[in-house]
Amino acid sequence: MSYGPKAAERLANKIILITGASAGIGEATAKEFAAAADGNVKLILTARREDKLDELSQELKKTYPNIQIYTVGLDVSKTETIAPFLDSLPEDFADIDVLINNAGKAMGLDKVGEILDEDINAMFQTNVLGLIAMTQHVLKIFKKKNSGDIVNLGSIAGRDPYPGGSIYCATKSAVKFFSHSLRKELIDTKIRVFEVDPGNVETEFSNVRFKGDLERAKKVYEGTEPLYAPDIAEIIVFGCSRKQNTVIAETLVFSTNQAGPFHIHRNT
Ligand code: 8X3
């Protein structure tokens, strides 16, 4: 999609760090930034699966020979690795302009009392503690130059909690309140904080939630036309390519046939 010449100008030469960039919304966001700026950006792509990042990097470089990409294997849940990762960025990539805090996951739909400790820890470590740690470190860079964009991926789950989602919903409401507190703290700066809250997006999300049970994952989207990763990527890039005086503070995004976590019309 084209956001027009003004958007391309506003994005030109930006250094954009995306977490969870190996698939889904992260990968789509990398592609969307590249397209919107016609390759005139520097992308720092991070995720646990480095091979996937390399594939994405090759693909983007083929389409946009001018694009600059730096890929790093990073698991944001290992919060102690975040500062060393930022410190080791090549000089050309060190002065980050945009942070897309995308890495996140849901594990299971178990009721309270039956939730595995490892699932609780995994969700909080990645969705909350990883996001907070990354933000704290990158914010130092943004404060020095009094500019920068932080996009936090929330969820409908952070607004409308549902049975079986207690931990995931708690992590996403934590993202919401962290984001809004941060925006208030930064009121006297030019640093922008965006929160994007998707509903059902057909990605690896449900495969991960149901731990590889693909049949169960497929059922989440059965009979619906869900959102796809590029639909959310467009909204992220639209936000980051607005004029400096504008912040799209929060965005709730459903597919046309969804109105709540389980309020979904299905053609079945
Ligand atoms: C994903 C949306 O409704 O499965 O963040 O929690 S939901």
> What does the pLDDT read at residue 230?
98
Average confidence (pLDDT) over 172-191: 98
Which of 4-8, 51-55, 170-174 is the least confident region? 4-8
Q: Which domains does the chain possess?
A: 5-253 (3.40.50.720)
> What does the pLDDT read at residue 89?
98
Average confidence (pLDDT) over 242-267: 96
261 CA from centroid of ligand 1 (Å): 6
> What does the pLDDT read at residue 2?
76
229 CA from centroid of ligand 1 (Å): 13
Contact in structure between 32 and 3 (CB atoms under 8 Å)? no
Mean pLDDT over the full length of the chain: 97
Element spanning 47, H or E: strand 42-47
Contact in structure between 33 and 237 (CB atoms under 8 Å)? yes
Strand 148-153 relative to strand 98-101, pairing: parallel
> What does the pLDDT read at residue 151?
99
Ligand 1, atom nearest to 262 Cα? 3
pLDDT over 90 percentage in the chain: 98
Average confidence (pLDDT) over 242-255: 97
Instruction: State both tokens at 210.
Output: 């149901």
Q: What b-and-e string marks burial along 111-146, b requiring 16 or more CB atoms within 10 Å of the CB? A: eeeebeeebbebbbbbbbbbbbbbbebbbebbeeee
Kindly report, residue by residue over 94-133, the tens digit of the pLDDT: 999 999 999 999 999 999 999 999 999 999 999 999 999 9
**Res 83 pLDDT > 90:** yes
Kindly report, residue by residue over 32-64, the tens digit of the pLDDT: 999 999 999 999 999 999 999 999 999 999 999
**Pocket lining: 34 vs ligand 1, CB cutoff 6 Å:** no
**Res 197 pLDDT > 90:** yes
pLDDT level of residue 5 (50, 70, 90 thresholds): confident
pTM of the predicted model as reported, rounded to 2 decimal places: 0.97
Which residues are annotated as catalytic? 168, 172
155 CA from centroid of ligand 1 (Å): 6
Q: Which residue is it, tokens 């470089």? A: 61
Q: Please, is 81 exposed, middle or buried when counting C-beta atoms within 10 Å of its C-beta (0-12, 13-18, 19+)?
A: middle
**Res 221 pLDDT > 80:** yes
pLDDT level of residue 165 (50, 70, 90 thresholds): very high
Average confidence (pLDDT) over 178-193: 98
- What is the C-alpha separation between 213 and 235, in angstroms, rounded? 30
- What is the C-alpha separation between 22 and 207, in angstroms, rounded? 15
**Pocket lining: 155 vs ligand 1, CB cutoff 6 Å:** yes
- What is the C-alpha separation between 97 and 37, in angstroms, rounded? 14
Q: Which residues pair with 68 in a beta bridge?
A: 42
